[in-house]
Amino acid sequence: MVTYVVRRLLVMVPTLFVVSILTFIIIQLPPGDFLTTLAAYSAESGGTIDASAMESLRRQYGLDQPLYVQYASWVGGFPRGDFGYSVEWKKPVGELIASRLGFTLVLSGLALVVMWLVAIPIGIYSATHQYSWGDVGLTTLGFLGLSVPDFMLGLVYLFIGVFVFHAPVGGLQAPELEDQPWSGAKLLDLTNHLLWPTLILAAAGTAQLIRIMRGNLLDILGQQFVTTARAKGLPERTVVNKYAVRVAINPLISVMGLQLPNLISGATILGIVLSLPTTGPLFLHALINQDIYLAGTFLLMLSGMLMLGNLLADLMLAWVDPRIRYD
Amino acid sequence: MTDVQTPRTGAEAPPPWTYPVDDRLTERDVISAEDEKRYSTSQLAVIKRRFLANRIALVGGLIVLGFYVVALFANFIAPYDADQRFDTAIYVPPQAIYLVDDGRIYPHILGFTLTTDLETLRRTYTADPTQKVPLEWCVHAEKYRLFGLIPTDVHLFGVPGRESGVFLLGTDRQGRDQFSRLLIGSQISLTIGLVGVTLSLLIGSVFGVASGYYGGQIDNVMQRIIEIVRSFPAIPLWMALAAAFPPHWPPLQVYFAISVVLSLIGWTWLARQLRGKVLALRDAEFVLAAQLAGAGDARIVFQHLIPAVSGHIIVVSTLAVPGMILAETALTFLGIGIRPPLVSWGTLLQEAQNIQTLAHFPWLLMPVVFIASAVLAFNFLGDGLRDATDPYSIV
């Protein structure tokens, strides 16, 4: 098991290296740099930046160096926890993104938990009551959840919030509570503001998990060891919960690895729609303004999160399924 | 391959099995006409029958077909141009069509009167039962080119005169008819997925088939490449690439660039799927037979393997289209996708970005209904196709 973990971790290093190069190329793709954006903004508002000031700014931020030097100095800072400097916010990138990455992680993690808690019981119900009204209804609902993407659900949620609750529901905290000290009411408000984004984020994944769980369990309930278990007189509950479900859950773990990118993507875009402090809004802003180190670090960190998540999913699978461990 | 256990007819006790000594048909080898028909049914016919038996998939397929037919004739069905503005009809709510008037068939809509609240400056439109505007078929209005070729000015329906209009789904902040914009926007939104999937298909099948067929070092390198591409989360990567398009690019170029960007991740999924399939088929007897008959790699791949996995290719690409439609919508919604003057469903959703406008003009959320139904229909169709071609697949 230890060698397996070590091997997987070692494989991640070159991948991360290539990913960081690709990230750097992608964020360098747009023509011009942050300073041209800055110049365009000031031209819009009537002012101009003269050429010598541009030149000195460019030198100050190292934008005049060849690309590989810029890349090396960016990557070279990583071990020290230095992810570059955001020219737009005039702050180190690390300071800007830590809380946002953390929140993205919390939101995705919560959504993951909700997905499993909701999907497994429903999947079991659907499989044991195949073609019943409940099954048909839940399957349809699942399909609907799969078809309406997060950000549209977010829009619908905003809409309902305004119409039904007559209050803006975006953000993490009601505006009037923002500056108050921590209290029960504030905590409740925060929970409320977190609950719905989590559910929205979990919707598509839940639908997918239900479908897989239902299919798997149906498959397994038809196998001979289940028939044997029934034949020797075990109660149906035990047959389903102790025999079939335990085997049917395995594929869900490998699916989890496939769902992580969706969760991270979803948290990004949902954050923009609902103005949540995820990576989304700041990332989009940085991309549009060519704040390259900020944008690049976001992209790299999100990829890193994805890779770590996949590793965890694989480890979990190896933990529950010995056939993989000894491979 | 010969079937050793040929089915028998009749209920008599089976004679002890003996090896056929000559190639004359013995009585127990004779099969009934019914069985004969069942055994000689082609794979395609079986797939077709399974698909047609699946009601939900059939409905999904018809809806998808409907969407594309409407998109093809969008300019004709839409009463107005996507950018035609009605200065006197800003944020008009959806209008209902009344078919009957005084017991006779007289399709009409009600005109509206505008009242402005002097305190809040809010404009309200109220339907006016005294103003009955008749709906007419095949009216002459704005000029356009049908299919981008045939110049004409005939629209399926409309109201005579230019002072008032018919707004089935209301208008937006510039007084543009949302129904027309939705139809015309569907041309972009529905095709960008197809273009993207076609591109992913090209890259994905080359990678997948080569990877599965050759195996070894080639497979290893290709799998590493796929792994690296897949370690980027899709939407953030798409955002980064879409934000890189220079603002001076013409809209059509942006359209193609976006479909390229969408297929950049899409192909990996297809490649993985095909690799698995080809890997399983590589050692099948028919490939061995082709090899022994002296067929080259190219012939085996194009004549034997690709046809064998074509069902799977179709299924996977059908299931990939809705994701691409959604991705285009999301990018455009964020302001880094399709740009005006092109109209897509994402452009329409941009109008609904603001909570305040959404609260006052809820019909701006209508694109969500269109997008969701298109995606749902595609999913049902893809699911049905998968069940029909490969009932044991779990993907």
In chain A, residues 239-258 whose CB comes closer than 8 Å to chain B: 251
Yes or no, beta carbons of B358 and A306 under 8 Å apart: no
- For B95, half-sphere exposure in the C-beta direction (CA atoms, 13 angstrom radius) is 34
CA dihedral B144, B149, B150, B154 (to 10 degrees): -30
Domains of chain B, by residue range, sit at: 91-174, 181-389
CA–CA distance, A25 with A23 (Å, rounded to integer): 5
Number of CB pairs, chain A paired with chain B, less than 8 A apart: 124
Longest dimension (CA), chain A: 88
Closest listed residue to residue B370, CA positions, set B334, B344, B335, B332:
B344
Cβ(A299)–Cβ(A23) below 8 Å: yes
CA distances to A80, B15, B20, B27, B192 from B24, rounded to whole Å, are 84, 17, 8, 9, 60
pLDDT score for B5:
54
Closest chain B residue by Cα to residue A261: B233
CA–CA distance, A86 with A27 (Å, rounded to integer): 14
Closest chain B residue by Cα to residue A306: B231
3-class DSSP assignment, residue B5:
coil
Interaxial angle between packed helices B55-72 and B178-214, expressed in degrees from 0 to 180 and rounded to the nearest 10:
120
Q: Which residues in chain B have their CB less than 8 angstroms from residue A216's CB?
A: 394
Q: Which residues in chain B have their CB less than 8 angstroms from residue A261's CB?
A: 230, 233-234
Yes or no, beta carbons of A284 and B330 under 8 Å apart: no
pLDDT score for B395:
41
Which of A26, A266, A307 minimises the CB distance to B241? A26
Q: Which residues in chain B have their CB less than 8 angstroms from residue A215's CB?
A: 394
Q: Which residues in chain A have their CB less than 8 angstroms from residue B334's CB?
A: 269, 272, 284
Which of B234, B368, B376 minimises the CB distance to A265? B234
**pLDDT (tens digit per residue) in B25-80:** 555 666 677 777 777 777 778 888 888 877 888 888 999 999 999 988 888 888 88
pLDDT score for B68:
93
CA–CA distance, A249 with B336 (Å, rounded to integer): 40
Average pLDDT over residues A222-229: 88
pLDDT score for B2:
45
Q: How near does any CA of chain A get to the CA of B78, in Å? A: 25
Q: What is the DSSP string of B324-370?
A: HHHHHHHHHHTTSSS-TTS--HHHHHHTT-SHHHHHH-GGGGHHHHH
pLDDT tens string for chain B (395 positions)? 444 555 555 556 666 666 666 666 555 666 677 777 777 777 778 888 888 877 888 888 999 999 999 988 888 888 887 777 777 777 777 877 777 777 777 777 777 777 777 777 777 777 777 777 777 777 777 777 777 777 777 777 777 766 667 787 888 878 788 888 888 889 888 898 889 899 998 898 888 888 888 888 888 888 888 888 888 888 888 888 888 888 788 888 888 888 888 888 888 888 888 888 888 888 888 888 988 998 888 888 888 888 888 888 888 888 888 888 888 888 888 888 888 788 888 888 888 777 777 777 878 888 888 888 898 888 888 888 887 876 555 44
pLDDT score for B20:
60
Amino acid at B143: K
In the predicted structure, residue A309 carries a pLDDT above the cut 90:
no
In chain A, residues 150-169 whose CB comes closer than 8 Å to chain B: 151-152, 155-156, 158-159, 161-163, 168
Q: How near does any CA of chain A get to the CA of B62, in Å? A: 17
In the predicted structure, residue A215 carries a pLDDT above the cut 90:
no
What is the residue whose two structure tokens read 């397994």? A220
Q: How near does any CA of chain A get to the CA of B171, in Å? A: 18
CA–CA distance, B51 with B386 (Å, rounded to integer): 9
pLDDT score for B62:
93
CA–CA distance, B306 with B312 (Å, rounded to integer): 10
Closest listed residue to residue B204, CA positions, set B275, B271, B152, B288:
B271
**pLDDT (tens digit per residue) in A141-180:** 877 777 777 788 888 888 777 777 666 666 666 666 666 6
Tell me whether A24 touches chain B (CB under 8 Å). Answer: no
Average pLDDT over residues A84-94: 77
Give me chain A's average pLDDT, please: 80
Closest listed residue to residue B110, CA positions, set B98, B102, B101:
B98
CA distances to A7, A148, B148, B179 from B151, rounded to whole Å, are 65, 37, 8, 22
Q: How near does any CA of chain A get to the CA of B226, in Å? A: 11
**pLDDT (tens digit per residue) in A40-55:** 666 666 666 677 777 7
Average pLDDT over residues A211-220: 85
pLDDT score for B394:
44
The CATH superfamily of B181-389 is MetI-like (1.10.3720.10)
Q: Is B298 exposed, middle or buried (0-12, 13-18, 19+ CB in 10 A)?
A: exposed
Yes or no, beta carbons of B241 and A168 under 8 Å apart: no
Question: What residues have CB less than 8 Å from B125, skipping those under 6 apart?
Answer: B91, B92, B93, B112, B113, B114
Percent of chain A beyond pLDDT 70?
86
**Which pairing describes strands B136-146 and B123-134: parallel, antiparallel, or unpaired?**
unpaired
State both tokens at B66.
């409907």
pLDDT score for A99:
80
pLDDT score for B164:
67
Yes or no, beta carbons of B394 and A251 under 8 Å apart: yes
CA–CA distance, B72 with B67 (Å, rounded to integer): 9
ipTM of the complex: 0.80
